[in-house]
Amino acid sequence: MPKSIFNPYFIFVKYITRTVWILSIVSLLTDTASEMLYPILPIYLETIGFSMLLIGVLEGVAEATAGLSKGYFGKLSDSTARRVPFVQLGYAFSAISKPMMAVFIFPLWIFFARTLDRFGKGIRTGARDALLSDEATPKTKGKVFGFHRSMDTLGAVLGPSLALVYLYFYPQNYKTLFFIAFIPGMFAVFASFYLKDKKTNRLQPKTKTSFFSFLKYWRLSPLAYRKLVIGLLLFTLFNSSDVFLLLKAKESGLEDTMVIGVYIFYNLMYALFAFPLGILADKIGLKTIFIVGISLFTFVYFGMSVSINLYVIFGLFLLYGIYAAATEGISKAWITTISDKKDTATAIGTYAGLQSICTMLASTLTGFLWYQFGSAIALMTSAIASLLVLAYFLSVPKPTIEKN
């Protein structure tokens, strides 16, 4: 293999196309806006009168909306052979939802604004990932998806960092942050107008796409896709919200600002490792890197369940960032590699929709175990379950289409 393949400049020029760059910048700006609000959203909602129960219902409704709409709009994107309009509309909805949450504080309005944000995510996800897939070959999927995840997650470093700096000078002035978050969100929308759909000669039959029509894809999808997604969903059922790891860090003695610092540190590790691991995955296999990621998850959850040492916790969050880098972008690259090109958005959307439902169940299960038996049992359960998932993935065939 030519040595130049390991030169970062060579990789950027040859594999990271104009479309990948634009999508990555759009994701970075949008995630900066969203993650700027992530640490303070529950606090803000409490200050305007939301109970913890109402916050839970709000987030549940919002995530369910995002999950189900991912499947529908992924199918619609494939049916119309269009990508860019879904990407633009999805990012626009997410951008305008930010200031809406600060304009009025009526519960129904807050529900509408938050759901609009998640609805935007549902509209764009399948089409965006299909665009990324179209810019890659089977042997460069890891690089393309890894680079996008790195840029996207960099926003999760910048957003909370900016929020911390702002709140240091203007403590408890939460409303203004929602208007500030609108700025990078709108820049993301403007950047999305530089995207263009590829010309296609594929004729699309004029058929009606029902909201749940994407579920038919499961029956028609390749066997390799179903085996992979079953494993991914099993893993999701025991992979609860990262909030629980942050709560464990706080339980171990970290101050609130340090907890946010740990969250930023985790995202920084994720952003730093996603692209290099994508490059490595193209060389040694997507499955190999994914299995390494699941192994790291198991180790981290075992460690978090038994450790209260602050230095150990920081080390575990470092490994947790590498786990995320080795699984999230890699899993999407794997899905698009084994799916028919004309069904890429449907394949991603179907998985993402089912994943959202499983994520809600996972957080509910972990919350119940935490409440009944404590943090150690809750986290240990996830660790043990991930060992079983790891065994399952060892039996899942490699994406042989990579060899074509």
Q: pTM for the whole thing? A: 0.85
- At 21-49, the pLDDT tens digits run 999 999 999 999 998 987 778 778 878 88
Domain-embedded: residue 214: no
Domain-embedded: residue 211: no
Domain-embedded: residue 7: no
Identify the helix (H) or strand (E) that includes residue 41.
helix 41-47
Distance between CA atoms of residues 191 and 334, nearest Å: 28
Of 332, 32, 63, 262, which Cα lies nearest the Cα of 153?
32
Domain-embedded: residue 345: yes
Domain-embedded: residue 117: yes
Expressed as residue numbers, the domain containing 181 is 18-197+221-403
- At 170-208, the pLDDT tens digits run 888 888 999 999 999 999 999 999 999 877 655 455 556
Domain-embedded: residue 329: yes
Number of folded domains that form the chain:
1
Amino acid making up residue 364: T
Domain-embedded: residue 3: no
Q: Within 13 A of 402's CA, how many CA atoms are on the CB side?
A: 18
Find the CATH number of the domain harbouring 281: 1.20.1250.20
Amino acid making up residue 160: P
Domain-embedded: residue 40: yes
pLDDT at residue 289 in the model: 95
- At 125-184, the pLDDT tens digits run 999 999 999 998 888 899 999 999 999 999 999 999 998 888 888 888 888 999 999 999
- 3-class secondary structure, 365: helix
